[in-house]
Amino acid sequence: MTAATHSTLFPQVPDSADAVLEGLDPEQREVATALHGPVCVLAGAGTGKTRAITHRIAYGVRAGILQPSSVLAVTFTNRAAGEMRGRLRQLGAAGVQARTFHSAALRQLQYFWPKAIGGSLPRIVDRKIQLVADAAAACRIRLDRGELRDVTAEIEWSKVTQTVPTDYTLAAAKVGREAPRDPAEVAQIYNVYEDLKRDRSVIDFEDVLLLTVGILQDRHDIADQVRSQYQHFVVDEYQDVSPLQQRLLELWLGNRNNLCVVGDASQTIYSFTGATPDHLLDFRTRHPGATVVKLVRDYRSTPQVVHLANGLLAQARGRAADHRLELISQREAGPEPLYTEHTDEPAEAEGAARRIRELMDSGVPASEIAILFRTNSQSETYEQALADAGIPYQLRGAERFFDRPEVRKAGIALRGAARFGGNDSLLDDAVDLPSQVRAVLSGEGWTTEPPAGSGAVRERWESLAALVNLAQDFAAAKPGATLADLVAELDERANAQHAPTVQGVTLASLHSAKGLEWDVVFLVGVAEGMMPITYAKTDEQIEEERRLLYVGVTRARRHLHVSWALSRAPGGRPNRRPSRFLDGLRPGSTATAGRTATGGPGGVERGATSRPDAAPRRTQRTPARCRVCGRTLTDAGEMKLMRCEDCPSDMDEGLYERLREWRGVQAKLSGQPDFCVFTDRTLMAIAEAEPTSPVELSRIPGVRKRKLDRYGADVLAICAGQELGESVGGE
């Protein structure tokens, strides 16, 4: 087993401090045993950084050098904090606080508020966007939905960079930040927003950090109390700290130096939120005596994937690029990355779905496949393609596993069976723990075979199936375990948010994929204008886009598929080109002028040229034109309606409502979301066109052959005003 190979699901707790160090590579062992003074760990993607720092904490605790209650480990997401707590528990170091910056600050703020301020802590607003809208209205400034979201982001950036409203205009200009409105207007809205919060006695997410910093700065007695509690700090993803978070960390530390930071400047992808790698890159300047350990052994990805990742960074510029780590794969050789060009985005999505179906048919679990894109708006096309192919999927950022209603209900049922199972006839024939769990969950909707489709019914089944699989793994790891033991394990996992794997292809933006990994990754939409994104103008912004692609590449363990489309929609002008970041790396391309590859030994290996999974090119169609004003259409939504968004609609409202009602019935029958039958825009297009034949219906974008065959008769009957019988429509 290599140093960062995933442990079994229920590993044995090491029986001694020395046993905690077993299986670590030399550099990871250096991290684990460097328990005094400032420590800086520069850790490349896939090099086992979480493994190194959790073993460091566990070794210190097990050796009696660190007291669990005196250690505070901070990171940036609840998922990462939960994973850290789970690993520490498995290593016998329970009791160590592992939290996000905000969670740790909120806990301190709630505790010290009565003493420092008096009374109870003000309510934290769930959605600040409504407050921003009210502030804009008070300023008599009209914001559309996009501007409202962007102004809210500007206020968040201002607060984490400790910029007050009166300084916003100058601060934004200094860093070249493009404001969504006149900077003076943004500053005005920001100022009124702060006034509204005070008037309504509420605080926002960023105030949690600001107020904690304020209290620790002003009240030395409270700062001393916090420092007496926490004497050893570990900060994960240190390249992502904002100036405000850095200030909070300094106040926690005081004049001590028991600090370990872990990060990788090449994975700095959140500068729009105020994150900066400068604190990581300047660590040795601020702490001249720091121990610095570089982790470059990549245990995650094959040499082929690693070579592409190194090649991307070899062409990078800027300060972060000067400190890049060249990864060295520790895995066996795998397939070359595949590069695929498509005529348009729907064809790209269909090609990905087709290849995923082939992978799943060959035995690759859906949970080990991900489709990663630059913006969330790209998701719908891939959701539709996967739904059309009958492939289950899950959107990254959805409700946490143990918060799902079906999981909570299953937990209640299992707890009841553990207490009163002797009187439950369901368990009469259950001879072991897995069969007991299957029997109990059969009453909650679990079946031996999954339901058809990929909608809500399938998602609920997948959640219950994940619990069934967890019970099987638990019983195998702990022979003789009872239902009560499993319930206790589930409770601990729920507290740590350590969820079992749910089957389903992951759809995620590149930003939300940070920290995750899959056997197979599809990087889609890797074209100029999307990667780098159109609004990335400065050298710094372009380089951050390159790092974002690097993060996407390094999510793949074995198979990597990179694709792009020549046009956005069918019939569009094929004027797109592959991302400049692939120049010199993909087959048939040459390196961008002035960029010299300085990657790993032997240069960058190019990808496969045969492209066996390339989708067949579509026949070019004539440009779509608005049937009202005649303008050429390029937007996919407008092309579905065959008119401009602003042109008047002649839709039959009654027909549209009948189609929506019919769609709801079909979705319920198939256990899918409504949009998997037809999207709202497709129904609008049908209601406007009122087709009278299969040929006319097939001309409407969104009505492909599969849907025409399945639903065409029903739709045409509804358009003709006919009543449908009970049996029409399904398969």
Contact 657, 684 (CB under 8 A): no
Q: Which residues are annotated as a binding site for ATP?
A: 43-50
Which candidate, 54, 543, 81, places its Cα nearest to that of 268?
A: 543
Distance CA 45, CA 196 (A): 43
Distance CA 81, CA 94 (A): 13
Q: Is 355 exposed, middle or buried (0-12, 13-18, 19+ CB in 10 A)?
A: buried
Q: What is the largest CA-CA distance in the chain?
A: 82
Q: Which residues are annotated as a binding site?
A: 43-50
Listed in sequence order, the residues at least 6 apart from 384 whose beta carbon sits closer than 8 Å to its beta carbon are 349, 675, 676, 679
The strand pairing partners of 530, in sequence order, are: 533
Distance CA 465, CA 361 (A): 19
Q: What are phi and psi of 514, to 5 degrees?
A: -55, 130
Instruction: Scan for tokens 């690097």, then name that residue.
Output: 550
CA–centroid distance for 72 within its chain: 25
What does 483-540 look like in DSSP terms, one character per residue? HHHHHHHHHHHHHHT-PPPPPSEEEEETTTTTT--EEEEEE---BTBBTTBTT--SHH
Which candidate, 603, 675, 682, places its Cα nearest to that of 637?
A: 682
**Which ranges of 182-287 would DSSP assign to H, the alpha helix?**
183-200, 205-218, 220-229, 243-253, 278-281, 283-286
Listed in sequence order, the residues at least 6 apart from 169 whose beta carbon sits closer than 8 Å to its beta carbon are 183, 184, 186, 187
Which candidate, 497, 471, 466, 469, places its Cα nearest to that of 484?
A: 471
Contact 641, 688 (CB under 8 A): yes
The strand pairing partners of 527, in sequence order, are: 578
Which candidate, 574, 524, 556, places its Cα nearest to that of 383?
A: 524
Which stretch of DSSP H or E encloses residue 717? helix 705-719
**Which ranges of 333-404 would DSSP assign to H, the alpha helix?**
345-361, 379-388
Contact 320, 543 (CB under 8 A): yes
Amino acid (one-letter) located at 553: V
Amino acid (one-letter) located at 389: A
Distance CA 519, CA 541 (A): 30
Which candidate, 201, 180, 191, 205, places its Cα nearest to that of 123?
A: 201
**Given phi > 0 = left and psi -120 to 50 = alpha, else beta, which region is 525?**
left
